[in-house]
Amino acid sequence: MNTHLEARQLRWHAAARHIVRDVSLHVGHGEMVGLLGPNGSGKSTLLRMIYRTLQPSCGSVHVNGRDVWHSAARDNARAMAVLAQEHGGEFELRVRDVVLMGRTPHQTAWARDSTEDFRIVAQALQRVDASGLSERMFSTLSGGEKQRVLMARALAQQAPLLILDEPTNHLDVRHQFELMNLIRSLGLTALAALHELPLAAHYCDRLYLLKDGALAAQGTPAEVLTPEIIADVYGVHALVHTSPLTGKPVIEFLPDAVR
């Protein structure tokens, strides 16, 4: 099945203020699409409506043609794995058991974890360079280690669609690149909210850029990440040129020219 996501005219407001205003987006099969915008632009709120933790005031979300708000939670979990910014507090569990939680949508009620479940968990931890953390308590990990473990949990879910809210948060440069390379290598359909414009420029097929809860731009990285758009949305001046090695946009920020 070709996995695809379509969100139509999503809107959410609080205290008479529109946080997300009539945003539509789509992610085609095998695409990695970036969701960009300054702090407070509505990225996380939009993602929470997509992965069904925040009821939209208006609009709909479809995965493979099925409305997620009219589908069973288990069906959604089999179709969509989520790496959210908030992970529900500190787990008093071993890392291996946290990652095993990703296998729940594939298990029947009261089923015990199988040999196959443990194999998938070990593989997921290895993919995020966290095998050595398996027996550690999750609560003792650093922020970057926790992020990698939660990514392993999402991988263990084996869903064809990944929703990622700041997946590189807390990660050092090496692990940022490793994680983004991993996501691309899996060939999954992915929508990722990102802060780092250079990462978005290098790894994403297409981008959606939010400003004050509404779409300010959409298109390829070269179409969206122009000096004019960056200045308008982020209030920062930048030089953008094309890498002779990758053919992708390279962004050079000019910190002394902040307006």
Checking if the pLDDT of 18 tops 90, the result is no
Residues 226-239: tens digit of each pLDDT:
999 999 999 999 99
Residues 37-83: tens digit of each pLDDT:
999 999 999 999 999 999 999 999 999 999 999 999 999 999 999 99
Residues 2-14: tens digit of each pLDDT:
889 999 999 998 8
Residues 82-105: tens digit of each pLDDT:
999 866 556 789 999 999 999 999
Whole-angstrom CA distances from 107 to 12, 101, 163 are 34, 10, 22
Which residue did the predictor score with more confidence, 33 or 86? 33
Domain total of the chain: 1
CATH number at residue 25: 3.40.50.300
Could you tell me the pLDDT band of residue 21, with boundaries at 50, 70 and 90? Answer: very high
Average pLDDT over all residues of the chain: 92
Could you tell me the pLDDT band of residue 216, with boundaries at 50, 70 and 90? Answer: very high
* Residue 155 domain boundaries: 5-257
